[in-house]
Amino acid sequence: MEKLNFWVKFFGSIFLIYHVGLVVAEIIDDGWKTFVLKYKRKLNGSERREKRETAKKVAVRRKIEDKKRAVQRKIEEEKKESPSADD
């Protein structure tokens, strides 16, 4: 049991050290002010809200484009059918 407890603590500490290293690397790469702004947005949920709004806009735009394509296909099919009906 003690061996298992040791390994759990050991791997847990490695996991924490890894994530702290990632955060430090991000701070060094982006700068402190950018890092703080980014995580403030994450904490208050505005980042998720922005992603949802963007996804909604994209979905609406796709629906409109799909409807336009469907109308164009219908028009093309009618054009193809109309000359053959006149023959």
pTM listed for this prediction = 0.43
Question: Tell me: the pLDDT tens digits for 28-56?
Answer: 888 888 888 888 877 777 777 888 899 99
Residues with Cβ within 8 Å of residue 27, at least 6 apart in sequence:
35
82: confidence class by pLDDT, cuts 50, 70, 90: confident
Residue 87's SS3 state is coil
Angle formed at CA 52 by CA 50 and CA 58, multiple of 5 degrees: 100
Is 14 within the bounds of a domain? Answer: no
- How much is the pLDDT for 84? 57
Which tens digits make up the pLDDT trace of 66-79?
999 999 999 999 98
Domain that holds residue 83: 45-87
Token digits of residue 82: 């109309």
In-domain check, residue 51? yes
Q: In this structure, is residue 86 part of a structural domain?
A: yes
Within-domain flag for 12: no
CB 47 within 8 A of CB 41: yes
